[in-house]
Every structure is written in structure tokens, then in C-alpha cells.
Amino acid sequence: MNLELVSFAICPFVQRAVITLKEKKTLYQLTYIDLESPPVWFNEISPFGKVPLLKVDGEVLFESAIICEFLDESFPPALHPQEPLIRAKHRGWIEFGSNLLFEQVKVVLAKDEDEYQMQKEALGGSLARLSDNFNGGPYFSGERFALIDAAYAPLFMRFEILKGFRADLADIMPSNLAGWSEQLLLRQSVQESVVDDFKEQFVSFFGAKGSHILVQE
Ligand SMILES: N[C@@H](CCC(=O)N[C@@H](CS)C(=O)NCC(=O)O)C(=O)O
């Protein structure tokens, strides 16, 4: 199978697919595009105009959750739980994780302190809800790394970077999630899932958009 993942270097949804590919030790090609000025070919094949896309022998898949499930069904080891009820619950919490990523971006994009505090509170509320439903450790469902772990690692990686700019963010990270984050960020597939200068690219991208917390005044 010929796999080509269409990527934007700092996209957390792309990162989920990269982690999954690395867990599977599958060969793939990465094609980076500039999302601010996407090439014509990309707009022609991306139904929502979003990354990631996975080209499979020329066929196009879109949406990170669908891409990750396709990879999981196509290459061993299986990462999604086998039991339908548990798998359905994981799918729900993966979707919750997508929402958390959007809430995290709102924190980053806040233009002033008031907006930052408001968005931080919203993100904190969602993290608290996740925390109440996290009975795992070291990973979401215990000892085995699952697809849901690949879905949450990008959130925690960005959270660590942001904490370097605003230490007060640590206050909204519940301790059980902090332990989960630590485990995920130690994992090889996660560490190798981003470009070497990820932090610089992340800070520069959102800094240019006027991020209150990233731009040193
Ligand atoms: N629901 C999508 C979200 C993907 C997404 O929002 N990608 C962003 C980059 S991180 C994007 O391509 N944005 C371009 C746009 O919205 O025009 C998924 O899970 O794949």
C-alpha cells in the first residue's frame, strides 16, 4: 500500500495520524503544504480544505479520526479496543479531545489578558470533565497504548510548550491527566511525530497571529 500523508507542520490532527503510523512502523511519505496559501491540487482533493489527508494508492481519505481508524484496521498492532462498547466510549472521548484542541487554540489566540483568562477557564472546565472520566494510567485504558492515546498526545505536547510561557496554566491540569501526559510525551512515536523545530514553528505561527501569551511585550 502506498501511503502519503498531507500535512501542515504544526497541525495536531496530522500529528495524531503520524503517531499512529509510527506505532505501526509503516512506511509513508509526508507532504507538507502551507495552509495559509494551499496549493490548487490540495483544494481540489480536500473536501473541507483541511489537513490531514491520507492518500492510499491514490485514493483520498480525510478527517483524522477516520484516517487513524483506517490505519488501525490495516496495519498491526490493533490499537483501538476490540470490545464495541469500550471502542464506542473511546471514540466519544477522542471527539472530546478534538474539541479540547480547539479550546486550546482559543487560549493561544487570546489577544489580551482578559480573553486569555476567560479561555483558560473554559479549557480548565473541559480538562476537569476529562479528568473525572479518566480511570486509566499509565495510558487511557491502562497498560496498553491505544488510538485514544495518539489522539491526546498532541494536546499535551502543546500544553507543555504553553506552560513555558505561562506557568499558571499548570493550575488547570488535573494531576491524573498530568501523569498521563508525562507517559505520552516520553513515548518514542510521540517524540518523533513532529519536526525538529516544532516549538519554534508553533510559537512563530501563533505569535504572528497576535497571541497575547506567546508574544513577549
Ligand atoms: N476535524 C478535522 C480537523 C482538522 C483541522 O482543523 N485541520 C486544520 C489544521 S490543524 C486545517 O486544516 N485548517 C484549515 C482550515 O480550516 O481552513 C480532523 O480531525 O481532521
Q: Is 64 in the pocket of ligand 1 (CB under 6 A)?
A: yes
Atom 15 of ligand 1, nearest CA residue: 50
Instruction: Please write down the HEC assignment for all residues of the chain.
Output: CCEEEEECCCCHHHHHHHHHHHHHCCCCEEEECCCCCCCHHHHHHCCCCCCCEEEECCEEEECHHHHHHHHHHHCCCCCCCCCHHHHHHHHHHHHHHHHHHHHHHHHHHCCCHHHHHHHHHHHHHHHHHHHHCCCCCCECCECCCCHHHHHHHHHHHHHHHHHHHCHHHHHHCCHHHHHHHHHHHHCHHHHCCCCCCHHHHHHHHHHCCCCCCCCCC
Q: Please give the class, per CATH, of domain 3-74.
A: alpha beta
Q: What is the 13 CA–ligand 1 centroid distance (Å)?
A: 7
The verdict on the CB of residue 11 being under 6 Å from ligand 1 is yes
Same fold, 3-74 and 84-207: no
Query: What residues does each domain of the chain span?
Result: 3-74, 84-207
Within 8 A by CB and 6+ apart from 208, the residues are: none
**Locus of grid cell 472520566:** 133
For the Cβ of 54 lying below 6 angstroms from any atom of ligand 1, the answer is: no
33 lines ligand 1 (CB under 6 A): no
Q: Does the beta carbon of 46 sit less than 6 angstroms from any atom of ligand 1?
A: no
Across the strands, what pairs with 32?
Answer: 7
Q: In the prediction, which pLDDT does 110 show?
A: 98
Give the pLDDT of the chain (217 residues) as one tens digit per residue: 999 999 999 999 999 999 999 999 999 999 999 999 999 999 999 999 999 999 999 999 999 999 999 999 999 999 999 999 999 999 999 999 999 999 999 999 999 999 999 999 999 999 999 999 998 889 999 999 999 999 999 999 999 999 999 999 999 999 999 999 999 999 999 999 999 999 999 999 999 999 999 986 5
Ligand 1 atom showing the smallest separation from residue 63 Cα: 20
Instruction: Name, in order, each residue with C-beta under 8 angstroms of 61's C-beta and a sequence gap of 6 or more.
Output: 53, 54, 55, 67, 70
pLDDT of residue 215: 87
Q: Of all atoms in ligand 1, which is nearest to the CA of residue 49? A: 17
In short, whether 35's Cβ falls inside 6 Å of ligand 1 is yes
Q: What is the pLDDT of residue 216?
A: 63
**Helix 12-24 / helix 84-109 crossing angle, nearest 10 deg:** 140
| Biggest alpha carbon–alpha carbon distance for the chain | 52
How far is C-alpha 84 from the chain's CA centre?
Answer: 24
With the most atoms of ligand 1 within 8 angstroms of its CB, the residue from 37, 51, 101 to mutate is 51
CA of 143 to the centre of ligand 1 (A): 31
The closest residue, in CA terms, to atom 6 on ligand 1 is 50
Q: Is the CB of 63 under 6 A from ligand 1?
A: yes
Domain 84-207, CATH 3.40.50.300 — does that match? no
The distance of Cα 196 from the centroid of its chain, to the nearest Å, equals 17
Residue 111 CB partners (closer than 8 Å, separation 6+) = 210, 212
